[in-house]
Amino acid sequence: MPHRAPGSPGHSASNYLTGKAIQYYRPRGSAEVRQLIDGSFQAFNAGRLSEACHIFADKMLAPEHDTTIGLTVAGALTPAGLGGCAIELMERGLIDFIISTGANLYHDLHYALNFTLHRGSPFLDDVELYEQGVIRIYDVLFPATVLLETDLYIRDFLVRAKLSGPMATSELHYRLGLDLMERQPGCEAYSVVACAANAGVPIYTSSPGDSSIGMNIAYHELMNGSTLMIDPNRDVNEVCAIILAGKKNGCVILGGGSPKNFYLQGQPTLWEVYGIPKGGNDYFIQITTDQVVWGGLSGATPSEAVSWGKVNPGVLPDTVVAYCDSTIAFPLFCEYAVGSPNGRRPRKELVHKRDAMVADLLKQAKAVHTDKSATMAEQPAEIDRHR
Ligand SMILES: NC(=O)c1ccc[n+]([C@@H]2O[C@H](COP(=O)([O-])OP(=O)(O)OC[C@H]3O[C@@H](n4cnc5c(N)ncnc54)[C@H](O)[C@@H]3O)[C@@H](O)[C@H]2O)c1
């Protein structure tokens, strides 16, 4: 096999890239889909998906509950065209922050930059694809040049933006979104990262080194001597502060993976580490193909999360896991939510409130610490009396 640098364009024009362009589908609140879910999704995982739709649309989105809602995203969902669902939810104020794998954000940039991903087949000759410089994500196909040009854009952005020092991923993604809107006007309508910046929705990545965005940041440090450093501590504290500030808290978990725990650990960070009992999540919705029997995080149920203080023990009826492929279930779920009477809320625009929320977390944590120190200072006298 002749060596070709990974990702470099192949030798010949490809006939694999003739499939339709993958578009970001935008749910519109179809009455027929709502009728289908209410009338026909009655049992098994259809029943669970229907339950998820009702928990989200009737309870989490109810104005009186004012739930702060996090969406977590794992699985290759932006390549599969699901970014439009997240965009619609953000525009309508139906989700307040996102935790995603870096891969989903990286692949979203292809849409922002007007590169095309194509519908294809999962049953292709991968050696031939390699020879032709075609990249495959299951049945999604695109030329390797899309990777190279997206990487180039990221590196140009990093130089242009002159970002330096430690930074939360929410700040990095916000600045990236602003840059995309400046260079590709109107792209907030078809890019998750740009839409989030426009709608004030913070986006976090739980493992920032684990994607092509992280790969290009690493390049920037080594080759350009940049001091830009993703600060996971800042991310942990911001997510924790967002949860603390919420009147009620709820999540929609797509897949699972590290974004799932990065969201759920917010409650234990509060009670176990900062000593601030928030009471656990009020709502929990997960759509996943993973199962509980393997003992891993992605398949762990809301009931198991109760034991960790991640989920409020009194709210198990407001938790549900639908065992479905997100590429099928999530667009249906979004159609249902968008078409519901609670299908629009005022946006919280948390991206602009992060510093204030972290300052409040610090204030509350210091108060707990001061109380504890006062109690401990009293203890020796107490012990002495018993001698
Ligand atoms: N070039 C890149 O930037 C790149 C590309 C691919 C992956 N990655 C990295 O690889 C890691 C793994 O990413 P991943 O997103 O594939 O997650 P994953 O494979 O770890 O999946 C997480 C969980 O989601 C479930 N899941 C996956 N697809 C699903 C679907 N369609 N429907 C329902 N559930 C589904 C799985 O059962 C799994 O338990 C990430 O950290 C990512 O950043 C990077």
pLDDT tens by residue, 84-117: 999 999 999 999 999 999 999 999 999 999 999 9
Closest C-alpha to 137, from 86, 212, 195 = 212
What are the strands, taking DSSP E only, across the chain? 67-73, 97-100, 118-119, 134-137, 140-143, 166-167, 203-205, 229-230, 248-254, 283-288, 319-323
Give the pLDDT confidence score for residue 10 in this predicted structure: 52
User: 159 is written with which tokens?
Assistant: 């130089």
Region 361-379 average pLDDT: 83
Atom of ligand 1 minimally distant from the CA of 207: 41
Q: How many CB atoms lie within 10 A of CB 97?
A: 27
CA–CA dist 88, 59 (Å, integer):
19
Pocket test for ligand 1, best of 48, 146, 288 (most atoms within 8 A of CB): 288
Taking the centre of ligand 1 as the mean of its atom positions, its distance from the CA of residue 100, in whole angstroms, is 10
Output the pTM of the full model: 0.93
Query: What tens digit of pLDDT does each residue of 274-311 get?
Result: 999 999 999 999 999 999 999 999 999 998 899 888 88
Active site residues: 310
Burial zone of 36 (CB within 10 Å; 0-12 exposed, 13-18 middle, 19+ buried): middle
Which residue has the CA at smallest separation from atom 35 of ligand 1?
A: 255
Distance 16 CA to ligand 1 centre (A): 24
pLDDT at 384 over 50: no
Condensed to tens digits (0 to 9), the pLDDT of residues 321-332 reads 999 999 999 999
From the CA of 77, how far away is ligand 1's center (Å)?
8
Q: Which residues line ligand 1 (CB under 6 A)?
A: 74-76, 101-103, 106, 207, 210-212, 255-257, 287-290, 298, 325-327
Provide the pLDDT for residue 317: 87
